[in-house]
Chain A
Amino acid sequence: MKTEAAISVKDLRKVYSTRDGSITSLDGVTFDIKPHEFVSVLGPSGSGKTTVLKIVAGLEKKTSGEVRVEGRDVVGPQRKIGIVFQVPALMRWRTAIENILLPSEVLRIDKAQARERGMETLRLVGLGDFANKYPNELSGGMQQRISIARALAHDPSIMLLDEPFSALDMMTRNQLNIELLRIWSDRKQTSMLITHSISEAVFLSDRVVVLGARPAKVLEIVEIDLPRPRTPEMRVSKAFIEIVDHIGRGIGLEYA
């Protein structure tokens, strides 16, 4: 028996028309994400992986193909989706907790209830003591954690993460990878992570969808059968390195 996919992308095409003619960004991308699964979409820069995310989020229109979220065709933005962007995109005029409360304000959720849940989410990302700080008083890593908390605050069933750690240094990045896993195992939201880091994708995911260079097609979908919970030590294990190497060769061959 097959469970219904939380996110289902079938034969997705995206063509941009520019002054110099049309550019095919996505050329028949197909993959599924099951409920509560953590899947990464991996690809070289400019491969249109962010476009996949935006189309799933309903922020951009597809050219053709089928995109369904929880069984429904995507026709526009959906509140059941929380998004974490490449940049923290925090409102600098709001404190940490006020930033986290923004979605519930827009969605007109009861204030007291939202605040309680907001604080809980803030503690979940490890920033319970920083509720009343403004973004410019926090480090880049902390800001990105707040933006993760903001995406989680209204308890969406699906999380879309668009290269959320790419602007951070390696140490912060690895640390936030572990944090993200901890948060994910707490909330179990269906998650789709866009990344160009192979080791990040392998470390976090149940499966990795590997995209080729533009026009992007799915080269391969790799099952990551490393045990959970994942620990930092796994990053140097033989199994881990073999998977990373395998995916790397896959992308490398495409360039040859």
Chain B
Amino acid sequence: MSSSESVWQWFKVLTTLISLVLIWELSCRLFEIPQFLLPSPSSIVMRMIEKPMLFVVHGWYTLYETFAGFIIAVLVGLLAAAIIIIMPSVRDVLMPILLIAQLVPKVAIAPILLVWFGYGVAPKIVIAFLVAFFPIVVNTANGLMAVERELLDLGRSLEASRWQIFWKFRMPSALPELFSGMKIAITLAVIGAIIGEFVGGDRGLGYLIIIANQELDTPLAFAALVVISIGGIVLYGAVELLERLLIPWGQPIPQTQAAS
């Protein structure tokens, strides 16, 4: 994609978003919708300007929980995927267990985790980790397995050690899959952290939404939602940026070069 094309892409997205917000704003004013039902975009923005520190403080907690859960998910996920690949006999046992763990609804076990880990950040990090973990394991394990047979034959013919096969042959070829797992995981981790804050605690954007709802302060709830969305997009963008830096070979190449 050339840069002028990507500018055009952004232009289309932005104009669509702005139009939607305008329609929303106008409908609120035209039909005089009460604020506690559907606040207008301008009132949401006003809320954010009134108390910016509120969002910074609570936002920071949510970001911290999300990020910590995500990082642990990446580390544990990588380790689990590596074990699955290096010890195939473990895979048959581990995969069903992982699947069962994935199928347990995290919202349902959140209260139990609170009992176990208290009301601080710990249970939120655990929930964020639990929801983010699965896509990373599955994607990475797939990537590690998808190495070309001939490449593995080449490795064997050079008498490469297990370690060399893993790091030089399997791991780099799994990187694109790891990143697609990480992109799903980072968005899930945000949701996990919010779920944790919903269930108990006294900090974070999820907690802010609960409070706002109790006080029928809908503009505040919406303002928190906007901050969560923006934060999620920024985190997703950060993972994508990292992907571009780490795997230059995965990028689409300019047409002129590909054709020759």
Contact = CB atoms under 8 A, between A and B. Distances in A.
- Interface footprint category on A: 20 to 34
A137 B249 CA distance: 10
A230 interface: no
A29 interface: no
Interface in A148-204: 154
Interface stretch (A39-47, A84-92, A116-124, A216-224): A84-92
9 contacts: A76-B159, A85-B150, A89-B150, A91-B151, A92-B173, A93-B173, A103-B154, A136-B253, A137-B258
B247 interface: yes
Nearest to B164: A106
Secondary structure of the A contact surface, majority rule: loop
B42 to A, nearest CB: 49
A139 B247 CA distance: 21
Closest 5 CB pairs of A and B: A89-B150, A85-B150, A106-B158, A93-B172, A77-B157
Secondary structure of the B contact surface, majority rule: helix
Contacts of A128: none
Contacts of B21: none
Interface in B149-188: 150-151, 153-160, 164, 168-169, 172-173, 175
Given A91-B172, A93-B173, A93-B175, A107 B158 contact: yes
Contact of B148 (A54, A83, A87): A87
Nearest to A154: B158
Contact of A106 (B148, B150, B168): B168
Nearest to A89: B150
Contacts of A85: 150, 153-154
Contact of B249 (A54, A57, A107, A136): A136
Given A83-B153, A85-B153, A106-B168, A93 B247 contact: yes
A202 B98 CA distance: 56
A102 interface: yes
B252 to A, nearest CB: 9
Given A81-B157, A85-B154, A91-B169, 7 more contacts: A59-B153, A77-B156, A77-B157, A83-B157, A91-B151, A93-B172, A134-B253
A107 B154 CA distance: 12
A250 interface: no
Contacts of B2: none
Interface residues of B, number: 25
A79 interface: yes
A86 B150 contact: yes
B154 A137 contact: no
Contacts of A154: 158
A245 interface: no
A72 to B, nearest CB: 15
B148 A58 contact: no
A102 B172 CA distance: 13
Contacts of A106: 155, 158-160, 164, 168
B62 to A, nearest CB: 35
B154 A89 contact: yes
Nearest to A102: B168
A73 interface: no
A225 interface: no
Interface in A25-84: 54, 57-59, 76-79, 81, 83
Contacts of A103: 154, 158
A178 to B, nearest CB: 22
B89 interface: no
B254 to A, nearest CB: 9
A81 B172 CA distance: 25
Interface string A212-240: 00000000000000000000000000000
